[in-house]
Amino acid sequence: MLNGGQTLSDIGMKSFTDIKIGDKSLINDFDVFVFDLDDTLYPEIEYLKYAYAEIADYVSQKYQLNRDSINTFLIDTFLTEGRVKLFDKLIKTYFLDQDDVVSFLEILRNVSINNIIEPFPLIIDLLRTLKERNKLVFILTNGNPVQQKNKIESINWHDLNSFFTPIYANLLAPKPSPIGLFEILKLSSAVSEKIIFIGDSEVDRLSAYNAQMAFLDVNRMMQFLEK
């Protein structure tokens, strides 16, 4: 993250005003900025590490199994195979009760982290820039609303947590449905040409496409700024 009064140009990096989407300037030509949450604003694995550690504690205490083995299994399997049927794989591998999945989900959705997960540094710099320019900012996230709310509350927003409005897409229609973006269109009283969605996945891109709004891949943005 930048220190004190440093700017991106001070440390040899491009600035956010250098970013173009077609013929539009990211900062000058858009008024409403919509961000995905997981792996766009912060690394989701940092949240999952806390949840998986607590699940490992639960399994270890209930079955007298090695906690570190359970924790490593959860993290490694998530990183290599993704989240699909992760808890089913855990249950099958360690011969656990199928009913344990209820407890696993409860822990996953409600683990207490107390505002200590750091967002991506460039994201905080971008949010500060948007605040200075009086832009509107929303977060549009798929997933269980209780869990996604807990994630947001577990992130250190550096006093920017009151600057954005979260929209939980599963309460409307999950992305790539455009309904969440249409809700933001209504809430912001903006025109669609002034809204940009910043995300990290094909689901995010399709959501913007379906709403006929601009899209920016956050990973490409970071690569551009860091060149």
Say how far apart CA 180 and CA 25 lie, in whole Å.
24
Residue found by looking up tokens 């683990």 in the block: 111
Residues listed for the chain = 227
Q: Is the dihedral of CA 82, 199, 224, 15 positive or negative?
A: negative
* CATH of residue 144: 3.40.50.1000
Say how far apart CA 198 and CA 36 lie, in whole Å.
6
Give the range among 53-62, 83-92, 107-116, 205-214 with minimum mean pLDDT.
107-116
Residue 81 shares a structural domain with residue 34: no
In a domain, 1, yes or no: no
Residue 103 shares a structural domain with residue 210: no
* Average pLDDT over every residue of 63-88: 98
Q: Which of 61, 78, 110 is the last residue of a domain?
A: 110
In a domain, 3, yes or no: no
Residue 71 domain boundaries: 45-110
Say how far apart CA 111 and CA 94 lie, in whole Å.
22
Q: Which of 85, 110, 135 is the last residue of a domain?
A: 110
Instruction: Work out the pLDDT band at 8, boundaries 50, 70, 90.
Output: very low
Per the structure, how many domains does the chain have? 2
The angle at the Cα of 30, spanning 143 to 6, to the nearest 5 degrees, equals 90
Closest CA to 198 of 179, 181, 174, 173: 181
In a domain, 216, yes or no: yes
Residue 20 shares a structural domain with residue 74: no
Q: Which of 56, 88, 110 is the last residue of a domain?
A: 110
Q: Is pLDDT of 178 > 50?
A: yes
Q: What is the pTM of this model?
A: 0.91
pLDDT tens digits for range 10-51: 434 678 989 999 999 999 999 999 999 999 999 999 999 999
pLDDT tens digits for range 124-139: 999 999 999 999 999 9
Residue 124 shares a structural domain with residue 209: yes
Quick one: how many helices (H) and strands (E) in the chain? 9, 7
CA 19 to chain centroid: 21
Say how far apart CA 101 and CA 91 lie, in whole Å.
8
Residue 143 shares a structural domain with residue 179: yes
Residue 156 shares a structural domain with residue 61: no
